[in-house]
Amino acid sequence: MPHILVVDDDTRLREVLKRYLLRNGFLVTTAEDAADARAKIASLSFDLLVLDIMMPGESGLELTESLRRESQLPIVLLTARGEPDDRIAGLEAGADDYLAKPFEPRELVLRINSILRRVPRPQEAAELRLGRWTFVPEREELRCGDETIRLTSAEASLLKVLASSPGMVLTREELTERSRISGNARTVDVQVTRLRRKIEPDPRLPRYLHTVRGEGYVLRPD
C-alpha cells in the first residue's frame, strides 16, 4: 500500500483525511506541523506528502522548498487560499499538485493516484541470502528458520534497492532517489547503520553492506 503522510494543524481534518485514505487503500501517518513531519520523514519511508500551507511555525511552502532541495517525494499542497497566484507559488516551491479548501476527499484520492502513477517504483528484488539471514522483500523481513526480524519501511526500501543491484556501487543520492527515502545523505547513512545491526555478524566489520569511500554503498550477498 502507498504510504501517505498527512500534515495539517487542524486535528479534525487530519483525522477525516486519515480515515478516508485508509478506506481507499492507503497506509497513512499524520503530523501536526512541519517539525513533526520532519521527524516522521527522517524515520519512515513515504510515497507522497499531503501538506497544509498555513501552519504555525514553518509553513507548508517553506517545508516544500526545503524538502525539494534534498528529495523528490511527491507533494500535494492544501490551502484555504485558492487564488491563481497562490497556486503558482505552491508549484514554484516544488509541489506536484495544489488543492484549495474546501475540497472533496474523493478528488484528493484521484489526484494522489494520478501522481503515484507517474512515479516509478523501485525495482523489486528477489529473495537473497545474507549469511544466516534470507531477505524476503515482499514481507520486508529477514528470516532464519523460525526466527524473523521485521524491517522498518525505510530499512526495507533501502535494502530492496541495494538487493536489486548486487555488487554495484550506488551513491547516496541514487539510494535516496530510488528508495524514495525522504531526507538527505545523512539519512541514508543512518539507515545503513541500522541495517548493519540487523544483517551483519559484526556491524563494525561489515561483510555484506560495504562503504565505498567517496562513492557510496554496495551490497555483496552470499
For residue 150, pLDDT beyond 90: no
Dihedral of the CA atoms 149, 154, 157, 161 (nearest 10)?
A: -110
d(CA 21, CA 162): 30
Indicate if 8 and 113 belong to the same structural domain. Answer: yes
| Boundary (domain end) residue, out of 57, 86, 118 | 118
> Per mean pLDDT, which of 15-19, 89-93, 128-132, 182-186 is the most reliable?
15-19
In the three-class reduction of DSSP (H, G, I as helix; E, B as strand; rest coil), residue 181 is classed as coil
- 48 vs 146, more confident: 48
Residue numbers of the domain that contains 135 = 128-219
In a domain, 204, yes or no: yes
Tell whether 109 and 139 lie within a shared domain. Answer: no
Examine the domain organization and report whether 9 and 114 are in the same domain. Answer: yes
Domain count, the chain: 2
**Beta-bridge partners for 6:** 30, 50
Residues 37 and 91 in one domain: yes
- Within 8 A by CB and 6+ apart from 25, the residues are 1, 2
Dist. CA 8–CA 33, nearest whole Å: 6
CATH number of the domain enclosing 156: 1.10.10.10
